Amino acid sequence: MSRARNGAASSSEVRSELTAFGPGKIIVIGEHAAVYGMPVLAGAIQRGVTARAVPGPTRIQAPPELTPPQAEALQRAFAAAAGDVGLSVSVTSDLPVGVGLGSSAALSVAVSRVLLQARGKPFGVKEVRELAAKMEGEFHGTPSGVDHTTSARGELILYRKEGPTKAVKAKKPVRIVVAIAGVRTPTKTTVAGLRERRMTWPKRYARLFGEIGVLAAEAARAVTRGDLAELGDLMTVNHGLLWGMGLSSERLDAMVRRMRSLGALGAKLTGAGGDGGAVIGLFEDPSDALKRLTADGVQCFESTL
């Protein structure tokens, strides 16, 4: 059994089971900014999707937690990537679905890795990204690329749709609490509303996205210096801009306030936003916050970037 993230499988492995992991992601700074050409600070988290493949009819088993439309999208995405590879693939996940944590990208990366392993040729991040992008295109049409790029690289990055993606090395551990604040509005609904506002007031929204890009670049520098206080402040400012752009909600704002009351250096929504989804908080020591949120019935977990 091979658990390598990249590389070729041996012939004996192809005859048995292949396995690969795709991590989920969080946007630290820069929701929606990549679509408009701005940099985004994003990081892979420890939770994600594991794909397992054995020789057999070319097919993928949809996880039971997927809705029928999601399961149909998965079948289309798998068909686009797999061809007639002769593998039966199953996936398991400890990543909440549809809350802004890149679940489809994590699945695409995990499945792409087992498909590439089965080909028996060496491969790296570039090949994983390219195949995962084909699957993500079936899920989302024209994704920005930040989700599957972050998952494929498995690290904290400063991403730009047009231009080089840079690894961001943290001088100190960036400890994040991820909390789920209810079911999220479909991404396409949130994006459509944002697009309409941007078309109505193009100059204003260009300035706002430009400022978010500046925040992302400043946050990357803060991470490399180990300045967690500055990173936290930038996260909170970013949430304020997202709120002003109509991307937050009372549930998300309430969770941000809760994180701050528990000692977060900064907190914000992560992902597309909308009526619900995930909120992230930056902590020097998140243990007490995790205990108190869990005691309140909040679905939450820690991840270190």
Beta-carbon neighbour count of residue 265 at 10 Å?
A: 19
How high is the pLDDT of residue 65? 78
Query: What per-residue confidence (pLDDT) applies to 70?
Result: 81
d(CA 29, CA 73): 28
Asked whether the beta carbons of 180 and 278 are under 8 A apart, the reply is yes
On whether the pTM is more than 0.75, the answer is yes
User: Which contacts of 209-214 are long-range, i.e. CB under 8 A and separated by 24 or more positions?
Assistant: 209/32, 209/33, 209/36, 209/38, 210/38, 211/241, 212/29, 212/30, 212/31, 212/33, 212/38, 212/238, 212/241, 213/30, 213/33, 213/38, 213/39
| Residue-wise DSSP of 20-55 | EEEEEEEEEE-TTTGGGT--EEEEEEEEEEEEEEEE
**pLDDT averaged over consecutive 10-residue blocks of the chain (305 residues)?**
43 69 98 92 97 93 83 88 90 91 94 93 95 88 90 97 94 98 82 92 96 97 98 98 95 98 98 93 98 98 97
Residues with catalytic annotation?
Answer: 147
Domains observed in the chain: 11-167 (3.30.230.10), 175-304 (3.30.70.890)
Distance CA 79, CA 58 (A): 9
269: helix, strand or coil: strand
- Using an 8 Å Cβ cutoff, are 52 and 76 in contact? no
The predicted structure's pLDDT at residue 302: 98
User: CA-to-CA distance for 127 and 115, rounded, in angstroms?
Assistant: 11
